[in-house]
Amino acid sequence: MLSRPEALLSPHDDSPGDSRTGPRSAGEDAARTAAQPPVRISARGISKSYGTTAALRDVSLDVKTGEFLTLLGPSGSGKTTLLNIVAGFVRLDAGQLFFDDEDVTLKAVNRRGLGMVFQNYALFPHMTVGENVAFPLRVRKLGRQEVRRRVDSVLRLVKLEALAARNVSALSGGQRQRVALARAVVFSPRIVLMDEPLSALDKSLREEMQVEIRHLQKRIGATTMYVTHDQREAMTIGDRVAVMNEARLIQCGTPAEIYQRPQTAFVARFIGESTLLPVRPQGASLALVDGTPLRTEHPVPSGDELYLVLRAERMLLPAECTEKTNRLAIVLRDVIYQGDSLLIIGEAAGGMQVSLRRQLRHGMIGGLPASGETLRVGIDPDSAIIVGP
């Protein structure tokens, strides 16, 4: 396998399918680096195994033209493998990959028109910020003035114009990641791929960079795939989120759809602060395992294994319940003050831990019972989401 930055930055067209010969004209080079319109990425039934380990099982996914899609899932779920297949670093065992209507399954990495950003920056340590960012343009043999113009413009975009002459080894982590971003987008790629680019940064810098990357992507307009295992980051940054688990794509939707309409127990657990209580059909309706009838305004999936999704912020205190509210007795275990909110933790029948979170706008919530006492909390039918396994 080629070392990644070299493969991406190589000026050579070494694709076996390339019929062109002889030196390329200057006009052709300029055309290669002119802003290319973004494309739709379509994965069709992609599978990949390493020995007996399945990294991807029959994954089909569309990333719309100009869209920012985040791939979210626990470690080992296949996110990097999918990104590497889109990049061309990894050959798939089955399936096809399209950019718009072009089948690119066998297309060489350096002919795919990609910018990539990795966790470990992969910058050239002996070069300045400006030289690092100029590199992809130099290997494409752009003229000096054009290189200068583009580097200046992209450094302004990532707020590094004042540091162009500094050596990258003298930069902070956040600054280095900005250089890596600038270098990935300076040649106006039609696709940008990022694999956990912020995971080496501390929390506050990470949050700041999430918003910046989102703005940058909207400015440049390239179709973008971004890998993360952090659900909040995935929702903050992406137009849509594709949730992966155990080599499969589980659900893809807007952050609101993923959060409000999880389709499986895995997605409901992985996103948000939630507890899943088993429920069972009772005649035409549903009941909790202790027989308490359950009203929901949401569709109920087919099958016998069903769960009620309890989100901490949707749970109601007794005083907030009406006669329509589903009620659930919990034994109070802990009340935790977290500054902006209060986290109330209890135990339902069967030992399931149920959390209830309340934003604190006017000081503490009064009238809570002591630890060990029973509290009849509630969930309204319009918040009662039911998922299959």
Q: How far apart are CA 355 and CA 343, in angstroms?
A: 7
Please identify, using beta-carbon distances, which residue of 73 and 346 lies nearer to Mg ion. Answer: 73
Q: Which is nearer to Mg ion, 168 or 213 (CB)?
A: 213
CB of 247 to ligand ADP, least distance (A): 7
The smaller minimum CB distance to ligand ADP, of residues 77 and 177, is found at: 77
Interacting residues with ligand ADP (CB under 6 A) = 50, 53, 55, 73, 75-81
**Cα–Cα distance for residue pair 371/283, rounded to 1 Å:** 37
Backbone angles phi, psi at 297, to 5 degrees: -100, 5
Q: Which does 38 bind (CB under 5 to 8 A by kind): ligand ADP, Mg ion, none?
A: none
- Give residue number: closest CB to Mg ion: 80
Q: 128 touches which of Mg ion, ligand ADP, none (CB within 5 to 8 A by kind)?
A: none
> How far apart are alpha carbons 382 and 242 in whole angstroms?
25
The rounded distance, in Å, linking the Cα atoms of 198 and 176 is 11
Beta strands in 274-314 (DSSP E): 274-282, 285-288, 293-294, 306-311
Distance CA 128, CA 124 (A): 8
Question: Which of Mg ion, ligand ADP, none does 55 bind, CB closer than 5 to 8 A by kind?
Answer: ligand ADP
| Binding at 76: pick from ligand ADP, Mg ion, none (beta carbon under 5-8 Å per type) | ligand ADP
Distance between CA 132 and CA 129 in Å, rounded?
5
Using CB under 5 A as the binding criterion, the count of chain residues that bind Mg ion stands at: 1
Residue 134 CB, shortest distance to ligand ADP, in Å, is: 31
Residue 223 contacts Mg ion per CB under 5 A: no
Residue nearer to ligand ADP on the CB measure, 196 or 212: 196
Strands 53-63 and 223-228: unpaired
Work out the angle at residue 183's Cα, subtended by the Cα atoms of residues 179 and 188, and round it to the nearest 5 degrees. 140
In the block, tokens 């949730």 appear at 243
* Least distance CB 84 / ligand ADP (angstroms): 8
Cα–Cα distances in angstroms (integers) from residue 174 to residues 127, 203, 213, in the given order: 17, 11, 12
Return the structure tokens found at 199. 């995971």
C-beta of 53 vs 145, nearer to ligand ADP: 53
How far apart are CB 301 and Mg ion at their closest, in Å? 30
Distance CA 111, CA 365 (A): 60
- Which of positions 29-88 make contact with Mg ion (CB under 5 A)? 80
* 50 vs 337, beta carbon nearer ligand ADP: 50
Q: Report the nearest approach of Mg ion to the CB of residue 49 (Å).
A: 16
Nearer of residues 77 and 326 to ligand ADP, judged by Cβ: 77
- Residues lying near Mg ion in the complex (CB under 5 A): 80
